[in-house]
Structure 1
Amino acid sequence: MKNLVFEQQINANREKVWEVLFTQDAYGKWSSAMNEGTYFEGDWSEASTMKFLDKSNNGMYNVVEKNNFPQQLSMKHLGWIMDGKPEPQDWEDSTVSYFLESNENGTLLTVKVNSLDEFVDFFRTKYPKNLELIKQLSEE
């Protein structure tokens, strides 16, 4: 496991950044850096399951461990979804957390990923692009 940290200063308040992160329309725009056409199913409430799917009904699913609007949202990765069917994985303590901190310049968005070694390159390649898109959408 590797702990990865990504940060982006955004000239917008936390509520606007939160909206970009966790509403369907904006999520589909910034997550395109990972996979074009990605969308989610779920409501982001604590203990709920969130599904992140592509146009072929493949993706992954997580459980929301903490939702503290508009400061933090944390999830644990549980497994893949193939042809719409969950396939649980033993991903140990693989997690992703979003932290939104107000400051004099707007919001500092910090994303912390506890990643399995085989996904480190994916996150290091994709997350900086995600954060740039989140910044653009939040500052519009």
Structure 2
Amino acid sequence: MKKLSFEIQISAPPEKVWSVLWDEISYRQWTTAFTEGSFYQGTLEEGSLVKFFDPNNNGMYSRVVKNIANTEMKFLHLGEIYDGIEVPQQWGEATEAYILDENEEGTQLIIKIQTPEEFKEFFEEKFPKALGIIKNLSENQF
């Protein structure tokens, strides 16, 4: 399991960054860094299952293990989805956490990932792009 960390300073309050991260329209915008047309289904309540899809009905499903509004969201990834069919994976503690740390300049967004080796390169390439989009949306949307 590889541990990755990405962070960016955003000149906006945590509430704004949180909104950009999880509101349906802005989520679809920043996740274009991974796959154009990405979206999620389900609720983001602690303990619930959420499914992350690309436009071809492929993706992954995860459990929300932490949701502290405007502070932290953490997912435990459980498996992949192919043509809408859930396929469990033995990833162990494959997690993805979004941590918002308020400071004098706004918000430090920190993303911590534990991932199988096979996804490391993908995340290292895509997450910096995603962070740039999140920063732009947070600082420039009304």
TM over 0.5: yes
Question: How do 1:97-116 residues align onto structure 2 when only pairs under 5 Å count?
Answer: 97-116=97-116
Q: In the alignment, what sits opposite 1:84?
A: 84
Which letter does structure 2 place at the counterpart of 1:15? E
Q: In the alignment, what sits opposite 2:23?
A: 23
After TM superposition, give the deviation of residue 85 of structure 1 in Å.
1.0
After TM superposition, give the deviation of residue 92 of structure 1 in Å.
1.0
Q: Distance in 2 between matches of 1:56 and 1:2?
A: 28
CA deviation map 1:67-93 (0-9, x unaligned): 001100000011111111111100111
Q: Distance in 1 between matches of 2:54 and 2:71?
A: 28
Q: In the alignment, what sits opposite 2:122?
A: 122
1:8 maps onto 2:8 in alignment: yes
Q: In the alignment, what sits opposite 1:133?
A: 133
Q: Distance in 1 between matches of 2:111 and 2:52?
A: 17
Which letter does structure 2 place at the counterpart of 1:112? K
Question: What's the secondary structure of 1:5's corresponding residue?
Answer: strand
Q: In the alignment, what sits opposite 2:56?
A: 56
Q: Distance in 1 between matches of 2:109 and 2:119?
A: 21
Question: What's the secondary structure of 1:3's corresponding residue?
Answer: strand
Q: Which runs of 5+ in 1 are unaligned?
A: none
CA deviation map 1:4-60 (0-9, x unaligned): 110010000000000000111000000000000001101100010111111111111
Question: What's the secondary structure of 1:78's corresponding residue?
Answer: strand
Which letter does structure 2 place at the counterpart of 1:121? E
Q: Distance in 1 between matches of 2:30 and 2:49?
A: 21
Q: Distance in 1 between matches of 2:91 and 2:107?
A: 31
Q: State the aligned residue count.
A: 140
How big is the alpha-carbon RMSD for the aligned residues of Structure 1 and Structure 2?
A: 0.6
After TM superposition, give the deviation of residue 115 of structure 1 in Å.
1.1
Q: Distance in 2 between matches of 1:107 and 1:52?
A: 25
Q: In the alignment, what sits opposite 1:34?
A: 34
Q: Distance in 2 between matches of 1:55 and 1:118?
A: 22
Question: What's the secondary structure of 2:55's corresponding residue?
Answer: coil
* Paired-residue identity, %: 46
